[in-house]
Each structure stands twice: as structure tokens, then as C-alpha cells.
Amino acid sequence: MTRRTAVVVAAMLGMFLAAIDQTAVGTAMPTIVGALGGFALYSWVFSAYQISFVVTTPIFGRLADLYGRKRIYLIGILTFIGASLLCGVARSMGALVLFRLIQGIGGGAVLPIALTIIADLFPIEQRLRIQGLFSGVWGLAAIVGPLVGGFLTDHVSWRWIFFLNAPAGLVATLIIAFAFREPPVTREGGVDYAGVGLVSGSAIALLLLLFWGGREFPWASPQTAGLAGLSALLLILFLRVEMRAEQPFLPFSLFDNRIVTVCSIGGFLIGVGMFGAVAYIPLYVQGVLGTSATAAGAALMPFMVVWTGGSIVGGRIALHTGYRPVMIGGMALLTAGFALLALLGSHASTATVFVDMVVLGAGMGLSATMFIIAMQSAVDRPLRGLVTSINVFGRNMGSAIGVSAQGAVLVGILDARLRAAGAEMSFGPAGLADPGVLLDPALERHLAPDVHEAVRLALAQAVHGTFLLGLVMIALGLAAVVLFMPGGSIYAHSAGPAPGGAPAD
């Protein structure tokens, strides 16, 4: 194995650990709550990781530009490993939440810097040919994560979900430490601590609003207004500070580059539309079509597999046509996929859903990874870590917003339809806080046939609303690419040749 290949394997392994963590832990959560108690903190096991992961992603991306990829990556993955071990020995839910918060900080460094390391190692032609590896990590994590989490929980212990991160993470650490060689970093200026603090505070307030809104307190409440106002105030202060800073955390001149701007907007809108809707596909398949939980989970497999294949094909096409045609094709397929989802009724077949997911997977393959590669190539090396983290941050923030907004739409429509059908007494006068309770077999057995049918039809209409919202977001992304993405070959918009410093083969 060449030195460069070893570094690629290590970077992908680190990405895989950060990606698989959420899917594997989700499967084990009922068992974890049973062992540790503290059900009130159930959602915080996820939220703590997501908040720290999302907030620290742009920070570490910028630090990697200032202090070098290798140093920041090693700090991140060692933090991730240490926090994973602490999660594995946690004796209370409070401790687990704290350790998950630290684990998310490590993950926030590993993911964007791994993508940046790959960009440093390969010239643009090779990156486009191997870009399926990027998407393959996410697809594999989504498929394998629940299986690994379930197997370890049932046959070993839920604690091993966290313990197994240590040996795999140490392998990645050792390879990066000894095999990855990067050129000396020429650092200009220091860290803009004011900018970092303000943007982090704004993001945390917004994420808390998204996680708590509609659950811990109503959307129309003083708490909602307070968190929204705090987030907006900190964002305004951040913008003012950055415009006056000599060495800003986020140089706004970056967005003078149309590729950076379009790809940032496209990544954010994909997050809002795509990941929110995908979260409710299993709910539709199980709750409306009446399949098993296993079949509902399997509905996402075509999406993940085709996403990887589409990335490989899209990269090769872009070598001949440039970014613009591939991005337009991808966003058009995503728009078509959402239109097909919006046409699904209460009596669709699982085969129809699978076809729709194939279309969506192809669209993601042609667009999502292309956005990252185009942004990386459009800037010089000293800004590559930052633009990579901007894309990851935007997509994750979009995902949080999308899941929350589409969840609010789903619950609102579902509650209204059930009340109109006279079925609300089955769920209490307050309506539904979590539509997932409709999948509870114990509840289903106690429903009269006419009430069960009313619930099924109401759920179909509610999920339809989430698909329509996703369609609007993706259509806006398509419009942004069509109207503003510049044409030309991939070389016409490259900031320069591939940098030196890649490990020797």
C-alpha cells in the first residue's frame, strides 16, 4: 500500500466513525435508557452530539487552514476516541450526555478535515474520479450502523458501540501521524475569537430552538421568541465584527466567488429539503403502507446505494462537461424525485417508493459531493479547510432546520386531520406530540377499524405535506444553480494546480 493510499484509508476511516456514530447509537437507545435511567435526557444523547458537531465544524475547518490539517485532525480524532471510551463507561444519563457533547466536538474536527486532506492529496481530475468514496462512507454508515448497533446491543453490550471506536480510531490516528506529510503552514494572523464566539452562540441558540420547539415548549411561546431573538442578535453582531476585523473568521470576500456562493446555497437547501424528507420515508412506508419496521428501513437502501454510484458517474461526466451540467442534472433529478414523492397516495406500493428513492439517490450523487469538490477547487489551499467546513456546516444546519420544519408541518396536518375525523379522543385532547406513537403495535391493536383507517389516511396527508415542503426547497436549489452557477470546464474555475505536499507514492 502506498503512503497516499494509506492516508486516504485513514481519512475515510475517521469519516466513517463520525458518520456511523449516530445511526448505531440510535438503535441502542431504548436499552441504554433501561440500563441508566434518566428518560428525560433521552433526546439529549442525540442533541448534545449534534449541537457540538455542527457548531465546531467551521471552527476546526478554519483552524486547519491556520495551523495545519494534521495537527487539528489528530486533536479531533483523539478527542473523539477519548470521549467514546468515556461514553462506554458512563454510569448515568447525565454523564453520557456530557461525554456525547465532547465526542461531537471531536467529530466536528474529523469530518471536514478528512475531506480537506483528500482535496490536498489529489489533483482535481483524480478527486472527481474517486468522489464516490466520499458518498460511499455515508451510505455504508447509514446501512451498517443500525445493524452493528443492534447486534452489539443484543449479543454483547451497548457499551461496545462506543468502545469499538477506540481501535479503529487509533489505526487512523497512527496512519495520519506517520504517513501524512503536509507542506509547512504559512499562518497569517491569529484566531478571530470574537467572531468564533458570536457565530457559535448564534448557532447554538438556533439549534436549541429547533430541537426544543414543538416538544419542550410550543412554537408560539416566549421561549421560542427568546431563542430566535438571541440567535438573530448574535448573528447581527457577528456580521458587524467580521466586517471590521483585520483577520476575520469568515472572510466575506469568499462569497464574491460565485461557485462558493452557489455551492453553499445548494448544500444548505439540500440539507433542508432532502434530509428532512428522508427522515419521514420510513414513517410513510410503515405507517401508511402498513409494512414492517424492517421493510421501512430497507426503503432507504436504494437511496444510499445509488447515491454512491451517482457520485462516481457524476465525477467522470464533470471531467468532460464541467460542474454546471452535472449539478443541474442532479438538482433536476432531486426535484423530479420529490415530485414523485408528492404524488404518493395512501395506496402506493413499496416498489413505487423504491423507484422514487433511486431517483433521489441519483440526484444526490450528481449534486451533493460535486458542491464540495467545486468549492474546494475554487479557492487557494489556505482557505480550503474553511470552505469545506462551510459546506458541511450549511448542510447540517439545513438538515436540522428541515427535520424541524417538516416535523412541524407533519404534526400540524396530522393533528388537524385527526380532529376533523373525530379520532382525537384516541390520543388525548392535546393531540399528537410525536407521530411515531402511531406505529406502536399496542396502540394499533386498541384502535377500531374505522379509527385505524382515519389515522392511516391522516398520516398519508401529513407526510404529503413534508414532501411538498422538500420539493419547494430543492426547486429553489435548482433555480440557484441554473441562474448563477458559471459554466465552463473544471479548469476554468480552479484557483490553481494541485498543491504540493502530498505523500509520495
Which DSSP helix (H) or strand (E) runs through 403? helix 384-421
Q: Tell me which amino acid residue 489 is.
A: S
Sign of CA dihedral 20, 74, 372, 168: negative
Query: Model pTM?
Result: 0.86
Give alpha helix (H) positions in 37-123. Answer: 44-67, 69-88, 93-121
| pLDDT confidence of residue 374 | 92
Assign 3-class secondary structure to 203-253: HHHHHHHHHHECCCECCCCHHHHHHHHHHHHHHHHHHHHHHHCCCCCCCHH
The three cell numbers of residue 304 are 444510499
CATH topology of domain 1-183: Growth Hormone; Chain: A; (1.20.1250)
The three cell numbers of residue 459 are 398520516
| pLDDT confidence of residue 501 | 39
The three cell numbers of residue 311 are 457520485
Q: What is the dihedral of CA 411, 284, 274, 333, to 10 degrees?
A: -140
Determine whether 193 is exposed, middle or buried from the number of CB atoms within 10 Å of its CB (0-12, 13-18, 19+).
exposed
Tens digit of each residue's pLDDT (9 = 90 or more) over 162-189: 998 899 899 999 999 998 888 877 666 6
The three cell numbers of residue 11 are 481519512
Residue 67 · residue 116 · CB < 8 Å: no
Q: Which residues of the chain have pLDDT under 50?
A: 425-433, 498-505
| pLDDT confidence of residue 371 | 93
* Backbone phi, psi, residue 213, to 5°: -60, 130
* Backbone phi, psi, residue 217, to 5°: -155, 155
In words, the CATH class of domain 251-499 is mainly alpha
Q: Tell me which amino acid residue 8 is.
A: V
| pLDDT confidence of residue 441 | 55
Residue 478 · residue 331 · CB < 8 Å: yes
Instruction: For residue 181, give the nearest of 107, 117, 133, 119 by alpha carbon.
Output: 117
Contacting residues for 443 by C-beta, under 8 A, at least 6 apart: 437
- The neighbouring-strand residues paired with 213 are 217
388-400: string of b/e by CB count within 10 Å (b at 16+)? bbbbbbbbbbbbb
- Ramachandran area for residue 344 (φ above 0: left; ψ -120 to 50: alpha; else beta): beta
